[in-house]
Amino acid sequence: MSFDDLPPLREVIRAHGLFAKKALGQNFLFDLNLTAKIARSAGKLEGVDVIEVGPGPGGLTRALLAEGASRVIAIERDERCLSALAEISDRYPGKLQVIPGDALKTDFASLTDGSRPVKIVANLPYNVGTELLIRWLTVEPWPPFYESLTLMFQREVAERIVAEPADNHYGRLGVLAGWRTRSRIVFDVPPQAFTPPPKVTSSVVHIEPRSNPLPVDGSKLARVTEAAFGQRRKMLRQSLKSLGGEALLAKVGIDPTRRAETLSIDEFVELAQNI
């Protein structure tokens, strides 16, 4: 038995026939010490509504509840997991709400009633992780409906999120994340911690909104960074041609021979304000 008197996760997997499906990005965590460490990376959970994407057999869900979350609202696409999650709901009456469905079709801001702070914590399915992050970073209004994001990514994606100008990993994600949030890699998780093990190391990233980011339309910032980094080896006058090219760069006083990775986040924002 474990800290919550529920069966060990390997038993849960066996009892509910939850062999991992690659198409659903299923790499499960069985070590409840590790899921507790991830839950603690989100900070204090007492008095907090936690939104979890992809609870699977519920290893992280159990840790979030054991760490004192007032409520966990978990969105899971794989119906096979629902019976395992029901056992956790029984153990924590009224505290776990499981929403069967696709996180990409979920309106996250409307899941909670605003009476408590909201934190999003997830061991994300890799195939939808970046897409969800971009949505959470560009959500309106700002400050957003959440107080923080604590998310597992492939290490390489985590490095792109926290990257600063001139870092090797600096690109679209670094600009979007740096514009509105502060982010840091909390710790790495080796492949063998997962079942089945993925090919690469993963990292837990903690992200907190800035209260006063420079005002700009997030979709415009996404367009500028997409164009600039889509041809990252080209000079900006070439890569930004479709958005105004030399005229746009002259307007904001940026040397047209520079390349995307040399621009600060503020410079990207200024470009986006002028397209």
Whole-Å CA distances, 193 to 94, 111, 151, 178: 30, 31, 16, 29
Contact 217, 171 (CB under 8 A): no
Specify the residue, 65 or 81, whose C-beta has the smaller distance to ligand SAM.
Answer: 81
Q: Please name every residue paired with 72 in a beta bridge, in sequence order, or none if there are none.
A: 50, 96
29 binds ligand SAM (CB under 6 A): yes
Closest residue by Cα to residue 67 from 94, 93, 44: 44
Residue 129 sits in the site that holds ligand SAM (CB under 6 A): no
What is the distance of C-alpha 5 from the center of its chain?
A: 30
**Stretch of 27-35, 211-219, 240-248, 260-268 contacting ligand SAM, by CB under 6 A:** 27-35
36 is a contact residue toward ligand SAM (CB under 6 A): no
Least Å from the CB of residue 209 to ligand SAM: 23
Does position 134 bind ligand SAM by CB under 6 A? no
- Smallest distance from ligand SAM to CB 210, Å: 28
Which residue, 25 or 171, is less far from ligand SAM as judged by CB? 25
Element housing 151 (H / E): strand 148-154
Tell me how far apart the alpha carbons of residues 178 and 117 are, in angstroms, rounded to a whole number: 22
Q: Does 104 bind ligand SAM (CB under 6 A)?
A: yes
Question: Which 41-60 residues touch ligand SAM, going by CB under 6 A?
Answer: 53-56, 59-60
Report how far Cα 224 is from the mean position of its chain's Cα atoms.
22
Size of the site for ligand SAM (CB under 6 A): 23
Q: 3-state class of 152 per DSSP?
A: strand
Confirm or deny that 123 is annotated as ligand binding.
yes
Q: Tokens standing for 247?
A: 């005229």
Of 75, 80, 76, nearest in space to 14 by CA: 80
Which residues of this chain interact with ligand SAM, rule CB under 6 A? 24-29, 53-56, 59-60, 75-78, 81, 102-104, 123, 125, 128
Binding-site residue set = 27, 29, 54, 76, 102, 123
Binding-site residue set for S-adenosyl-L-methionine = 27, 29, 54, 76, 102, 123
